[in-house]
Structures are given as C-alpha cells and as structure tokens.
Amino acid sequence: MSDRYKLRSYFPKDKQSVHQMIIEEFGHDYSVRSVWKFRKSKPIEKLGLIVSDTFYSHHGEIVASLQYWPIKIAEYNSLLLGPLVVKDHLKGKGIGSLLINSSLKMIKNSGWNFCLVSGEPDYYPKFGFKPVPDNLLWPGPIERQRLQYIGLGDLDLEKLTNKPLTILSDI
C-alpha cells in the first residue's frame, strides 16, 4: 500500500465522514439490516480505525473505516465488528486487511471474549473467523453463513453448547 494512505485512530470529528461512507456503501436504509439491532448505543471510540489519503491534504481524506460495538454473547462481553468500509476506488488493495489485522492485534487478549461479524463468508476466514455455532440466536433474516466469529481470549464458543446463545446490545 502506498505511503499516501495512513492508518490512524478514529476521532470524534470523523463521525460525519464515516457516516457518509456508510451511506454511500450500504444506502440510506443501511440500519434496517438485522445486524443494526445490536448497534444501539455508539461504537467504541478507542477501537475505531481510519485510513486516510494524505495526497491532497496533510490531514487526509477518509477512505476507509472500521468500527466495533459492544455486545454480549450470552453473558460474555464481546465485540461486533463493523461496519468495515473501503471506498470503491481503493477496494482490493489490502486496506480492508490492514484494518482487520491491526484491530485484531488490539482486541485479542484484552478482556473481550468473542468478536462477531455479519459479513462476506469468503472474506473473513482468512483472518481466523469461523461460522458461528447453530445455538447462536439471531433476531431476523440473514444468510446464516454470513455470521462468523473469532475467539479473543480463552473461551471456545463451540464448547458453549448447553444453551441457546443470545446476543444483546451492550448499552
């Protein structure tokens, strides 16, 4: 990836630009998707990552963004990944991978149990994501294979088979 693209932390002032990118990618009705039932409060600021293009200005134009939201899977504090958005003209250049790999380094072994994503079934396995077990409950229509997760600590989600696993938006 060229030096003109810089990875940095999310700042509150980025909110509007990130929102605009989400609308451009997913449309104005992005929040009707069932995954948004778990994005009730606000993303965890300190886990947000931005890639900016510094070619035209020192501060840079935001060209990619990744956010995480707090959820509970059963009683376990966990993270919901997304939205992950890369501007169209920069897709396929490794920016999405950079965002995911950098953030996984931050969130692994830092007190969170699992990271859940609703995303492309062919995209996330390269980062270690696996299909969720059948006992994970999802409130609404979804192609089940989109639901994937990665363990962030010592617990194994597949071993928690003795009960239905509900997801709660951790407000």
Ligand X SMILES: CC(C)(COP(=O)(O)OP(=O)(O)OC[C@H]1O[C@@H](n2cnc3c(N)ncnc32)[C@H](O)[C@@H]1OP(=O)(O)O)[C@@H](O)C(=O)NCCC(=O)NCCS
For residues 17 and 97, which CB has a smaller minimum distance to ligand X in the complex? 97
CB of 162 to ligand X, least distance (A): 30
CB of 143 to ligand X, least distance (A): 12
Instruction: State the residues that interact with ligand X by CB under 6 A.
Output: 25, 82-86, 91-97, 119-120, 122-123
**Burial per residue of 137-146, b for 16 or more beta-carbon CB atoms within 10 angstroms, e otherwise:** ebeeeeeeeb
CB of 38 to ligand X, least distance (A): 13
For residues 98 and 136, which CB has a smaller minimum distance to ligand X in the complex? 98
CB of 122 to ligand X, least distance (A): 4
CB-closest chain residue to ligand X = 96
- Cα distances (Å, whole numbers) of residue 85 to 15, 51, 101, 139: 14, 10, 15, 24
Spatial CA neighbour of 7 closest among 56, 44, 62, 45: 62
For residues 35 and 152, which CB has a smaller minimum distance to ligand X in the complex? 35
- Cα distances (Å, whole numbers) of residue 147 to 4, 17, 28, 54, 117: 34, 27, 23, 34, 6
Query: Tell me, what DSSP letter sits at residue 21?
Result: H
For residues 120 and 156, which CB has a smaller minimum distance to ligand X in the complex? 120
Q: How far apart are CA 16 and CA 107, in angstroms?
A: 25
